[in-house]
Every structure is written in structure tokens, then in C-alpha cells.
Amino acid sequence: MRTSHLFQVLLLAGSLATGCGGTSSTPPPDSVDGSGTVGSNPLLPWKAGNRWTYRVTEDGEVSEKVTTVGEPEPVGGTGPHRDVLANKVTTLKSSGARTLSWQAYSGARLVRYREQSLRANTDTVKSEELWDPPRLHIDESPEHAVVGASWLESYEETALSAGENSSTTVRERWTVIADGESVTVPAGTFQALVLQKAGGSTAKTYWFVRGIGKVKEEGGQTEELVSYELQP
């Protein structure tokens, strides 16, 4: 499979990233400050320019994807949150396909408002999804970052495709199943907080490392962190 020029550029940037290998332990948990907002050591560092490269394995096929946080802009689209400011996040796959999503922290919660899937090597939108209330990406609140914590998320998902709209109510159960679990990925060995999400179309398990972000994901496909670049 040939890799697009843009993807090669992103991979080169990723190879110069901070986390290209080695062993890391989880720093002390101080991700939420006294005001209830995300502090200096989050589970998912969120700043324009931050970038993560993952090895993706699905049905025996291996590829890579690069996720980059962009600058804040209005969510746009037709949903109820169109005027909210959120970071535009670009995920570029080695096939040339792209996903654009609009995400932002609301207090201690990073949420998704809107997402578009684009056809490979084009700006043509293949499908779009909107969520109300916005869909949870990660919850940094102290009560949801301890082993045994479990909570239910519910939202209305609207799918736009080929001029047709469909809405579904989705309920997802999040559970913290481990903290300080050792996990080894191409970027190194880390001590991670492990979350499971059940409900929707696929159950998933996530490994998050404070100060770095998601280092592994399983469910439908496996994603493993290869490198990362975090802005100061």
C-alpha cells in the first residue's frame, strides 16, 4: 500500500517525537486541579500541535495512523453545538483516508461534538456524525479515575450519510479496571490506567498514561502507540 506524501511528513515528525522508546512509569495523579478543571498532568494532554502515531492491526492487516490536535474553531455543522469552540482533530491513515473531529474539554471531561469521515486522498465527506450531549472521550474527574469506578453515559447519535439522517440513543458503560498496569507498545513500556467501555457497536479497552495519552486500544482493532510529540 502506497503512503501519501502528507502521511510521510507526519510520520517523519512523529519519529522526532518525545516518546520514541524506553520505559516510563506513571507520574503522580494531579490531572484535575481544585477548580475541577484539567491540571498539569492529564491522562490525555490536550494542546494544539500535540500528535500521536499508532500502529493499527485489524484482521491481520497492519497500518499506521497519525492523530493531531488542531487549533480551536466553531464546531460547525447542523447540530445544536455548532457555535461551540472546539479543537479540530485530524486523524490521517496510511491509506490516505482522514477523519476530522471537533473535541474540547468541558471541565474535567474531554468530549466529541462532531466527526466527519473523508474519502482517501480527497476532501469529499463520506459520512458525518453528531452527538447530543457530546460523546465522552475521557473523563479526568478523580471519582472516575480510580479502580472500580463505573458510570453510564447516554447520548443521541445522529448519522448523516448520502443525504439521509438517522438518530439513535446510545448508552455506554465505562469502568476503571486497573491502575498502574504495565503495558508494552512500540513507544516503550508504561504504567497505565485501564478503562473499559461497553455498549454501542463494539466493546473497547483503553490504556492511558498520565502526561502522554492513550498508548493502547483494543476492540474491533488494536492500536498501539509508536511515537508522540507534545507541545511545551
Domains of the chain: 5-229 (2.40.360)
105, HSE (Cβ side, Cα atoms, 13 Å): 19
The answer to whether the CB of 55 falls within 8 A of the CB of 186 is yes
Q: Tell me: pLDDT of 218 over 70.
A: yes
Place of cell 485501564: 194
Res. 34 pLDDT band, cuts 50 70 90: very low
- Of residues 8 and 223, more confidence is placed in 223
Query: Does the global pTM surpass 0.75?
Result: yes
For the segment 151-159, the average pLDDT, to the nearest whole number, is: 97
20, HSE (Cβ side, Cα atoms, 13 Å): 8
Q: What is the pLDDT of residue 116?
A: 97
Q: Tell me: pLDDT of 88 over 90.
A: yes
- What is the percent of the chain with per-residue pLDDT over 70, rounded to a whole number? 83
Residues 6+ apart with CB under 8 A from 216: 183, 185, 192, 206, 207, 222, 223, 224, 225
Q: Tell me: pLDDT of 87 over 90.
A: yes
Q: What is the pLDDT of residue 56?
A: 98
